[in-house]
Amino acid sequence: MERSPVIRMNNVRKNYSGVDVLNGIDLEVYEGQIIGYIGPNGAGKSTTVKLMLGLIEDYSGSMEIFGRDIADGDISYKKRIGYVPEVVDIYDNLTAREYLTFIGELYGLDFQTADTRAFKMAECFGIKDVYDSRIASYSKGMKQKVMLISSMLHNPDLLFLDEPLSGLDANSVMVVKEIMSLLASQGKTIFYSSHIMDVVEKISDRIILINKGQIIADGTFSELQHSNKEGSLEQIFNQLTGFNEHKDIAMEFVSSFQEVHE
């Protein structure tokens, strides 16, 4: 059976006020893949994800999700997508129950289904006792858990996660990594961005490195290792993005706020 890609990008370009941010992204992502999408700050990762989510409309090239061009005016594909943004920006005045049932209903679930699912998920994440407390009183990790629940409540086929493990303790990290593997084994596709290289190295079955709006590496971790003769993903990242000045920069940074004694 021929596999058709869940995401297909063809020569996607985007500029902001004449400044090129994406310079021709070509990409095919398949069912069941866990894609680690990495790159330096400002490389264009969030821009790519926002384009796929339909949050930014003005671009050139073509972009298909679930086999349909997302510019065709039919936004029903969004119901099959879950998203955790990089910055947790939720309605602090709501309780988790209010927020999650609201999100569930936006995705077409009835209140009871959304509530039952959300409560069970909150229980698994150890936050059921605060389910009816205002989100404003939550810790950073607890808010992140609410975001993770909201992205999966409607059982999406494609998940976009931006730093999904941000603020989570070591035990919760293990649970979330396991959830990602389980979903991928069911054929769900996970596209996630992170700066934590050792996690990306371990859980991705494909790593895509973007630099200055272009894909400069794409493969499994061992493929990247073979073609770059480097050990860790962090070292491959440094090598491919041409960065080896960390010591000089650190020295300069510290000396900017310290007196230099000759």
Ligand X SMILES: Nc1ncnc2c1ncn2[C@@H]1O[C@H](COP(=O)(O)OP(=O)(O)OP(=O)(O)O)[C@@H](O)[C@H]1O
Is 161:50 a contact under the CB 8 Å cutoff?
Answer: no
Given the complex with ligand X, which of 16 and 243 has the nearer CB atom? 16
**Quick one: 6 or 21, whose CB is closer to ligand X?**
21
Residue pair 198/232 in contact by the 8 Å Cβ criterion: yes
> How many residues in total does the chain contain?
262
164 binds ligand X (CB under 6 A): no
**Binding pattern to ligand X, positions 20-59, x when CB under 6 A?**
-x-----------------x-xxxxxxx------------
Rounded least distance, CB 37 to ligand X, Å: 9
- Between CA 87 and CA 23 the distance in angstroms is 25
Q: Which is nearer to ligand X, 43 or 200 (CB)?
A: 43
Question: What mask, x for binding ligand X by CB under 6 A, covers residues 75 to 94?
Answer: -----------x--------
Q: Which single residue is written with the structure tokens 């930014």?
A: 56
Q: How many CB atoms lie within 10 A of CB 122?
A: 21
Residue 249 CB, shortest distance to ligand X, in Å, is 17
Contacts with 107 (C-beta within 8 Å, 6 or more apart), sequence order:
79, 153, 154
Minimum distance of ligand X from residue 234's CB (angstroms): 15
At its nearest, how many Å lie between ligand X and the CB of residue 23? Answer: 11
Report the candidate in 59, 76, 64, 45 with the shortest Cα–Cα distance to residue 160.
45
- Comparison of 98 and 218: residue with beta carbon closer to ligand X: 218
**Which C-beta is closer to ligand X: that of 63 or that of 127?**
63
Smallest distance, ligand X to C-beta of residue 11, A: 18
Q: Pull the structure tokens for residue 226.
A: 């073979």
In Å, how far from its chain's centre is CA 205?
Answer: 15
Reduced to 3 states (helix: H, G, I; strand: E, B; else coil), residue 139 is: coil
User: Which residue, 45 or 117, is less far from ligand X as judged by CB?
Assistant: 45
The residues of the shown chain that bind ligand X, judged by CB under 6 A, are 16, 21, 39, 41-47, 86
